[in-house]
Structure 1
Amino acid sequence: MRILISGASVAGPVLAYWLTRHGFCVTVVERAPTLRKTGGHAVDLFWPAMNISEQMGVLARVQERATGASRMTLYREGARRPVHVDLSKVFSATDRHVEIMRDDLSEIYYDVTRDDVEYVFGDSITAISPDGEVRFENAAPRRFDLVVGADGLHSNVRRLVFGDESRFNTFIGAYFGVLTLPNASGLDGELLIHVGVGRTAGMYGARHLGDARALFLFRSEHELDYHHHDVPRQKELLRAAFDGMHSDVDRWLDELDRTPAFYFDSITQLHMDTWSRGRTTLVGDAGYCPGPAVGGSTTLAVVGAYLLAGELARARGDHQRAFPAYQRAMTEHVRGSHAAALSAAKTLIPTSRLGGWGLAQGARLISALPAKPSRTLLRLTTKSARLYNSMTIDDYPPSPTAPAGPEADSADPATAGGRTL
């Protein structure tokens, strides 16, 4: 049975790994000419994704590439003294957790699949027919049994099959930016953060990165006028939002015209009644993004990929049974992640001076308490910690034989066997 996945970031390679383990023949198409190494930002892997990574045999590499963030210095606008925070106590609120650069994680998942999966870089899907024929920008048309969109918040597959993304987007009133810049301060495992009313900026680095990242979150009562490919306009909006915040922030913004990597987007949630239509389904941010930077979307993508592959294996490739089962298995996880993201955004980007004071005092209290009480306090007060600690996920033993799709016998011998091109 032949399955096409669009997107080679996180959800795509994880899904490809588990589908291959269950006996399916997998192709991954990626618009970028090579595996993306665009700077990226740090993402969180909570215990469900850590367990899945361990089953994939890559946990040691994930832990090796962790950012090692252990300290935070928090400056509040209008306050004279910063607050120093022990991040190890914050992260201990979840049973198992690693912070890792998104590009590093993508590379790890790609490496573990590259010998068993056909990867096609520098191409994109232009049409998907109900009978499984797929057309591409560059390659000749091919037929697949199933197509999966794992291509992010601005999913091309979702647009082709379900319509314009504006039908499903819910803007939660904030924006997120990140840029790569020299680690002039020699930061290693430390986060410097400035918090004000409606805006938060930070910078962090780790020894293995060789550079640093500056991140920016800010509120907006309405959606801003820009296109998600219009980088000069995005930089202009970012400068305006953080004008006059602090000299540190001014220096970070000075790097906007020199940065080798820049990312900017709204913090948007996706709400869809169904993630599947016909032979096509969606996974990760393409189907149920809880909000970049605030909702644990990377963990949700890994869990979703694992569950989708497992349900397809359990149904022996019958998508009419597998897709609804996948939706049932993921619905509560998605609902919880959406709620946790709204709570996290409110905390990380205070709406008032009192909110900023509360964030600083809460961080100070957690650092002052012994490890066990601080862990208990965070678990009681942090929605994301409660969510990920309580997730339950079925086990799907690898299938002893491959499900046979109708095109299996006529597969192109140049691509049969799923080797990397």
Structure 2
Amino acid sequence: MTPPPATSTPLGAQFPGKSGHPRVDGDSLRETARKGRGAGAGAGSALVLVAMLLVALNLRAAVTSLGALLDEVRGGLGLSATTAGFVTTLPTIAFAGLGALTPWLVRRFAPARLLLAGMLALAVGQVLRVVTDSPLVFIATSALALAGIAVANILLPMLVKQHFPHRTGLVTGAYTMALTVGTTVAAASAVPIAHAFGSWRAGLGVWAGLAAVAVLPWVPLALRARRAARRATPAVAAAQPSRIRPGRTRLGWAMAVYFGAQSLSGYAIMGWLAQLFRDAGYRPEAAGLLLAGLTALGVPIALLMPTLAGRLRTLHPLVLGLTAASSLAYLGLAFAPRGGALLWVALLAVGQGAFPLILTTIGLRARTADGTVALSAFAQSTGYVIAALGPLLVGVLYEATGGWTAPIGFLLAALVVQTGAGMVIARPRYIEDGR
């Protein structure tokens, strides 16, 4: 069930005060101020949607292109194994730490201005990291690029709530699909681009151009937001967003645990699935194609899942269905990885639909834009801390046991935790009601 639009008039503002003039309460002031600080009341929805989709295309390209070229980067910069491991963990650290600061930034700057700055940081960071020979500078500039992604991760669900309150599922599906496409294309083409130009720097640096393109639509949107803020009345300009603290609610923690558990499994699968198939007897090329197939199947699922979530009153069927698909895939990988590889990949792709589902649920479980950004920041920042453990623990278990039974058992245990949290967030409720 889609929640009431964030632009609805608060009940207290509908009735006149004793003086006969309309009474304006704090909630209505905050909502009016939010409109002024947003991407601009006159901004066309089409421009906002295009801008969001361009941002989404960039949300993982800087990460997956580096993963594909990690060996070349290690050789080119002389990175130790420990430093390379830190580089691969840096995204989850940045998404967790910097994502948690986004609500504080939103209280001071318009979302459009933040996204403009975020895409500029992403473009500049990606350029600077490919022109240096210093490992320290490479890490610092990668962190700059990831800072832009971290802010965008949190703000996109908020923008869906602001500009498309009646199309939460459809628009979330569109930008999640764009994210998946960007992830897939960057992972698949980074190595060929590097080989074509004879350097890993080209394979990483080309994605700065995509980030630069994403900057363009946010320039007029940021200017409109600035003009709207200047036109705001003193009372509206002084209004501050309400402080919503998801960490003090059961719903907030359930959202964070679900986000973290599904991300943990997703990162582990992306990092280790090809190795599992190679151990099962597949050639490296075939194992890579199976992993690419998993990502490709995720594109239509990324569009379908939010649409279904937006139309259902309760999410219990989706939560349980995704759990069933993942469970069957894990059991198949444990006992018959070679015999039914295509089926297990297809089931894994369905199970990974938990990612677009939780992104949609962030918007469905908040009444307002303030609630959405607070819930998005808490769920994602806390969730990415959990997710960072996935590839690490799977690697430790794989090395300790020499097989895949223990790692898959760990992923099944994480799935149980994910399902428990999913049952909590499946019932319609709103984060603002827990204050």
TM-score range, shorter chain: under 0.3
Specify which structure has the higher proportion of strand.
1
TM (norm. structure 2) is: 0.24
TM (norm. structure 1) is: 0.25
